[in-house]
Structure 1
Amino acid sequence: MTAPANAPTLQEAIDRAGSPVRLLWQPGTAPWTVPVVEPEYDGWALEQEAWRSAVAISDLSFHMSDTVYEGPDATRLLSEVSANNYESFAIGQAKQFVPVAHDGNIIVDGILLREAEQRYVLTGVPASQSWVNFHADRGGYDVTHTTDPDSSVRRGGDPKVFRFQIQGPAALELVASAFGGPLPETKFFHSLVTELDGRPVRALRHGMAGQAGYEFIGDFADYDAIKGALMRAGEPLGLRHVGGLAYFTNGVESGWIPTPTPAIYTDPRLEDYRRSLSAFSYEGKKPLTGSYYSERIEDYYISPWELGYGRSISFNHDFIGRDALEAARDEVRRTKVTLEFDEDDVRRVFGADLGHLYDYGRFRIERDGELVGMTFWTANIAPVGRVLALSLVDTVAATPGTQVEVVWGEHPGHGTAPDADLGFERIRATVQLSPYNEYARTAYRSNATV
């Protein structure tokens, strides 16, 4: 959301609301969808099936923010504000960016691509970029940063870059057809610069939901030409265009929690940071919804260890939150899991025609009437005929096969006890591993490097 002139800061908004939770708690908020891209092209179920059994194209050009960091101190800046390993960071490589606050909990992740010796691009939810920008400006670093926001907040004009993701069992066949032959062998999350239709393109070896694929990135002036070339190459293979609704559901199967609550709202050491952010920023407007309610914003914070980012963490350098993050390694109390909703309960609560059911609310997970966790992303995965919820649960409830209940409803917020009996529906669920997709959990993830 674009901030009006003289908008209050995040700290001012918190003070006026009375607490961070009172500011962010917005029951009934509709899930955010990808801007510009159509919600559906061929239908929710067909688009989900395409990346599983054929090939799909996702247009990621419009819903992510990009910030470029360049200068002699670019590497030093990034290494001092994140837990990543920069000694093993090759040019052309991308990494899951892991910035943490002083308490060791995550800000928000992103994808960090090293384009040159002292040039990086950080892509994703803007909260991680705001964190780096603040320290770049206040820390005396010899570095410049330029942000291209996502299209939901951009004040007119096109993005600076296009980004197309090709994924599915036939992805490599499509790529070979489009480029006139296979691309050179590239490691997972590494990239090369090549040409398509006479235009330069960066090909990042990537994919979602465990399927093979590439992400193609280039100057937005070439958007139509590159997309057209990929679509033509994919037509004989049954290529489907993934809409903005189905796109987010691939994270449920691949085990990626994309929008954790930034751990920034109460720490006195971060007051200046909160005053640098607008009340209309991501941090001020990302709503909390669902049946999991707490007056303590800290109850929504997440450790990178809980997110499964251990392989991306390195303690070979000093960074903000280092000691707390290292201490938390032996104190992890929650585990990321996938919940399979009971089919009878799904029909009872949602009806027989689920359609594009998805929700990013935080819903209570209970075992024997006791709170054991919360959901993060719930979606109908049509090809497997299941409603799945990517969740965090206490380790005592994390064993696959454990039976739990999801409390489905919208807690009204302040003034009502977090565990009040509000007559909400209860959906039985079975704990399963995360990632839910077996390939994503085994072969695909084993290719990841720090």
Structure 2
Amino acid sequence: MAIPSLQDGIDKAGSPVALLWKPGAEPWTPEVIVREYTGWRQEQAAWHEGVALLNLSHHMYDLWIEGSDATQLLADHGVNNFERFAIGQAKQYVPVTRHGHIVTDGVLVREAEDAYVLSGIPAAQHWVQFHAEKGGYDVTFSTDSSSAFRPNGGDPKLFRYQIQGPLAFELIAGVFGAPIPRTKFLHTAPVTLNGRTFKALRHGMAGQAGYEFIGPWEHAAYVHEAFLKAGEPLGLIQVGALAYTTPSVESGWIPSPVPGIYSDPELAEYRKWLPLFGIEGKRPLNGSCFSADIEDHYVSPYELGYGKMIHFGHEFVGRDALLRAKDDEGLRRKVTLVFHPDDVGRVLGGGKDTDPGFVLSYARHRVEGGDGGLVGVTMQTASIDPIGALLSLTLIDAAHAEPGTEVTVIWGEHPGIGTDADADLGFPRIRATVQPSPYDRHARTEYRRNA
């Protein structure tokens, strides 16, 4: 029996939105990670105030790309600058469709002259692999799925551990016996721990200092135990699946935008190549901001804040569309909404003074201006305990993007096809104030510059 394709699923459902719209969908949390170790509040505080260990080993999808055409393939289908891409460097890889809509982003590391590894959710990897096969590029691929989708189970090929927080460098020096060589932001350096060699990737989360350590799975348990032992006197806290999902809200990274692949007739072949039971067919849409037109859910890389990554000095798919969009004042802006605490307690906590506890939502909730008109859509909402607020990464019209602007979030689950998108369904309303994104000041103003 043939494996159903994404196009098969769309055809059977009647439309892309009919396939994807799932009211009340549970928010994603990382696979095979304890939900909470010491409690989400303490775990969030750890990377703000102390030091935290995060295990990224199980939910990442890796695609290794090797061959004489590897750089050309990635440059032809990504907006990034490949003229300056050193071996050992990482970049946030951003592929777009011919209409300039993002497919999704991923972390791309150049491992050798003609070898790369692309990591993250697999939508970008699928896009690259399909176009390599269709275009006849001289490349080979190897993959490692996330633990939830790895055939026949088994361990990952790589471990990934993040050490983050104000005490991160002190902990790292304790593990290796001395500070590791200073590394530029988003660059890697080889490190050795008692004969075990792996990589240290310099980056951070929510504006905090840190590294991500990546190496062969055979060393995973040893390296993990070394971090735990050295971190004990520093109060190291392991971060569980709940807290792990939240730092992107502070740092301004919008995960899993809807890939702009569902409606273009020229991508029918691609949709037939993609499996239905993959990220493109199963990552749900939900919330109060409904549209039956899938293109209303597409996103420009400019809206996500990726404009500085776009390099027009080479030809790539979507280049002309992005040139036209470059000065488009009609594009939405990325902001942080700070929810009014009284309304949060009333709507989510059961009363005016009730703490709602942990809240996580990837729902697309409708954001309205003072006249009740649609002005934006939430992309990810989470409780951030060190800040003492519920924050939402949001795309909003330019006229309402000024910090301090008051808006209203409509909190509810639109039933989808068959109900008017603008119907008044009696959903509760939460007042919110527009603030910058990233919300964390250090991440917004100093982090990359001083990294």
Report the TM-score, using the length of structure 2 for normalisation.
0.97
Kindly indicate whether the alpha-carbon contact (under 8 Å) linking 2:185 and 2:448 is maintained by their aligned counterparts in 1: no
Kindly indicate whether the alpha-carbon contact (under 8 Å) linking 1:83 and 1:319 is maintained by their aligned counterparts in 2: yes
Q: Which residue of 1 aligns with 2:172?
A: 175
Kindly indicate whether the alpha-carbon contact (under 8 Å) linking 1:197 and 1:225 is maintained by their aligned counterparts in 2: no
- The equivalent position to 1:58 in structure 2, one of 45, 54, 57, is 54
Give the 5 Å matches for 1:91-130. Answer: 91-130=87-126
Report the TM-score, using the length of structure 1 for normalisation.
0.97
Query: CA offset at residue 447 of structure 1?
Result: 5.3
Q: Which residue of 2 aligns with 1:435?
A: 438
Give the Cα–Cα distance (whole angstroms) in 2 for the partners of residues 125 and 311 of structure 1.
22
Q: Which letter does structure 1 place at the counterpart of 2:84?
A: S
Unaligned runs of 5+ in 2: none
Give the Cα–Cα distance (whole angstroms) in 1 for the partners of residues 2 and 163 of structure 2.
42
Q: Deviations over 1:322-369 (max 9, x none)?
A: 110111111152000000000100110111232221111000000020
- What secondary structure, in the 3-state scheme, does the structure 2 residue paired with 1:158 have? coil
Q: Which residue of 2 aligns with 1:358?
A: 360
Kindly indicate whether the alpha-carbon contact (under 8 Å) linking 1:44 and 1:355 is maintained by their aligned counterparts in 2: no
Q: Which residue of 1 aligns with 2:161?
A: 164
* 1:415 corresponds to 2:418: yes
- What secondary structure, in the 3-state scheme, does the structure 2 residue paired with 1:133 have? helix
- The equivalent position to 2:79 in structure 1, one of 83, 90, 99, is 83
Q: Which letter does structure 1 place at the counterpart of 2:27?
A: P
Q: Which residue of 1 aligns with 2:249?
A: 252
Q: Which residue of 2 aligns with 1:343?
A: 341
- The equivalent position to 1:300 in structure 2, one of 297, 300, 306, is 297
Q: Which residue of 1 aligns with 2:133?
A: 137
* 1:382 corresponds to 2:385: yes
Q: Which letter does structure 2 place at the counterpart of 1:417?
A: D
Kindly indicate whether the alpha-carbon contact (under 8 Å) linking 1:197 and 1:226 is maintained by their aligned counterparts in 2: no
* 1:287 corresponds to 2:284: yes
Kindly indicate whether the alpha-carbon contact (under 8 Å) linking 1:197 and 1:229 is maintained by their aligned counterparts in 2: no
Q: Which residue of 2 aligns with 1:37?
A: 33
- The equivalent position to 1:241 in structure 2, one of 238, 242, 261, is 238
Q: Which letter does structure 2 place at the counterpart of 1:24?
A: L
- What secondary structure, in the 3-state scheme, does the structure 1 residue paired with 2:57 have? coil
Query: CA offset at residue 446 of structure 1?
Result: 2.9
* 1:319 corresponds to 2:336: no
Q: Which residue of 2 aligns with 1:204?
A: 201
Q: Which residue of 2 aligns with 1:25?
A: 21
Q: Which aligned segments of 4 or more residues in structure 1 are displaced greater than 6 angstroms?
A: none
Q: Deviations over 1:206-259 (max 9, x none)?
A: 111110000000001111001111111111111100001110100000000011
- What secondary structure, in the 3-state scheme, does the structure 1 residue paired with 2:302 have? helix
**Inter-CA distance 48–36: structure 2 relative to 1 (3 Å threshold):** same
Q: Which letter does structure 2 place at the counterpart of 1:68?
A: W
CA RMSD of aligned residues (A): 0.9
Q: Which residue of 1 aligns with 2:274?
A: 277
Q: Deviations over 1:164-203 (max 9, x none)?
A: 0111000011111111101111100001111123211100
Q: Which residue of 2 aligns with 1:214?
A: 211
Query: CA offset at residue 118 of structure 1?
Result: 0.7
